[in-house]
């Protein structure tokens, strides 16, 4: 039976650490979120981020734009926040409505305030092995692995998914941590044959219970990034009950990766504020 990797408990400890670090720093970090439209799921995630800010003594503001806002209007809002010296971190909640050019908006965020780490400049740094801000979900997963003493060095890590917020940066972080990395996606042939070779399997597919026990090697570490709503319940990309019988370690949904994402956002926001006030770390 697998060890359950308790992201909730680890994130609580990390949040306490951020709060103490903020208090001792004398800095007053502030995060701005931008929410476009009225998707209830996105609104809930934004509220959770603001609640986390309060807990760690980081200030926060939210700017809400109507669902029919143009790319130019969203980019102007971002530009105003770029120029506001009181704001250290900017997060544009994704996905944006279909009429808004997501790439243009992400590109409009100042790279030094890009606490999501999605700007091509920050993704490029990450892929070149010199990260500044790493996207919060994969960075949070690396923290969770470290907290449980799971070292990716030399292990075969298989990532299912190639998005810019999870799959691609996850692959880069694991590569930077000396894993041997395979990235799978919807066009991969015989996916199960590849995933069965994984010592460490990260599922970021967006399909409920997609990863079955037959796709997992005995003793593997299985990380579930899925947040699928099924009959009003949150369900991961991994068939948890079956896979936990086979895996060595596994993250639950909820209570695994999700809380680590928010804790990492707080760490990135503090790091952004420190960098803006004190300059880049040597
Ligand atoms: N939507 C789902 N996950 C994320 C995230 O990590 N950042 C942003 N900005 N939007 C998201």
pLDDT digits (tens, 9 = 90+) for 137-175: 999 999 999 999 999 999 999 999 999 999 999 999 999
How many other CB atoms sit within 10 Å of the CB of residue 38? 11
Whether 91 is in the pocket of ligand 1, judged by its Cβ within 6 Å, is yes
Which token pair is 39? 């998707």
Q: What's the confidence (pLDDT) of residue 280?
A: 86
Question: What's the distance, CA 194 to chain centroid?
Answer: 24
Nearest CA to ligand 1 atom 1: 94
Beta-carbon contacts of residue 227 (< 8 Å; ≥ 6 apart): 234, 236, 253, 258
Phi/psi at 269 (nearest 5 deg)?
-70, -40
CATH of 136-258, one of 3.40.50.720, 3.20.20.70, 3.30.420.10, 3.40.50.300: 3.40.50.720
pTM value is: 0.97
State how far the Cα of 223 lies from the Cα of 99, in Å rounded to an integer.
33
Both tokens of residue 137? 């979900």
- Answer yes or no: 93 catalytic: yes
**Residues of CATH 3.40.50.10860 domain(s) within the chain?**
26-112
Q: List, for residues 78-107, the tens digit of each pLDDT value.
A: 999 999 999 999 999 999 999 999 999 999
Select which of 49, 199, 224, 237 is catalytic: 49
Pick the catalytic residue: 6, 20, 23, 93?
93
Angle at 90 between CA 137 and CA 95, to 5 degrees: 60
Residues with pLDDT less than 70, the chain? none
Which pLDDT value is given to residue 208?
98
Domain with CATH 3.40.50.720 in the chain: 136-258
The candidate with the shortest Cα–Cα distance to 208, out of 183, 233, 239, is 239
Tokens 């971002």 sit on residue: 78
Catalytic residue among 116, 165, 224, 237: 116
Query: Do the beta carbons of residue 17 and residue 56 sit within 8 Å?
Result: no
Tokens of 267: 């760490």
Side-chain-side CA neighbours of 67 within 13 Å: the count stands at: 9
Ligand 1 close to Cβ of residue 43 (< 6 A): no
CATH architecture of 26-112: 3-Layer(aba) Sandwich (3.40)
The residues facing 183 across adjacent strands are 159
Instruction: Point out the ligand 1 atom lying closest to the alpha carbon of residue 95.
Output: 1
């Amino acid at each position: 039976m697998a060890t359950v990797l308790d992201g909730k408990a680890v994130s609580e400890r990390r949040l306490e650490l951020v709060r103490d670090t903020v208090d001792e720093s004398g800095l007053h970090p502030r995060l701005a979120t931008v929410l476009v439209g009225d998707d209830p799921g996105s609104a809930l995630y934004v509220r959770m981020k603001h609640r986390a800010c309060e807990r760690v003594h980081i200030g926060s503001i939210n700017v809400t734009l109507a669902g029919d806002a143009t790319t130019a209007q969203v980019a102007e809002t971002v530009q105003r926040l770029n120029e506001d010296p009181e704001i250290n971190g900017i997060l544009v909640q994704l996905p944006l409505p279909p009429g808004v050019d997501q790439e243009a908006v992400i590109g409009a965020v100042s790279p030094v305030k890009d606490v999501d780490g999605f700007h091509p400049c920050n993704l490029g740094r990450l892929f070149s092995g010199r990260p500044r801000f790493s996207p919060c979900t994969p960075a949070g997963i690396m923290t969770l692995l470290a907290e449980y003493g799971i070292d990716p060095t030399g292990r075969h890590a298989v990532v299912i998914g190639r998005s810019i917020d999870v799959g691609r940066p996850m692959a880069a972080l694991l590569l930077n941590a000396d894993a041997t990395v395979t990235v799978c996606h919807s066009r991969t042939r015989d996916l199960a044959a590849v995933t069965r070779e994984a010592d460490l399997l990260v599922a970021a597919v967006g399909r409920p219970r997609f990863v079955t026990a037959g796709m997992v090697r005995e003793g593997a570490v299985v990380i579930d990034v899925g947040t699928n709503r099924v009959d009003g319940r949150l369900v991961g990309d991994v068939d948890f009950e079956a896979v936990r019988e086979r895996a060595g370690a596994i993250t639950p949904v909820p209570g695994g990766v999700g809380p680590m994402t928010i804790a990492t956002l707080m760490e990135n926001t503090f790091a952004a504020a420190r960098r803006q006030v004190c300059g880049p770390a040597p």
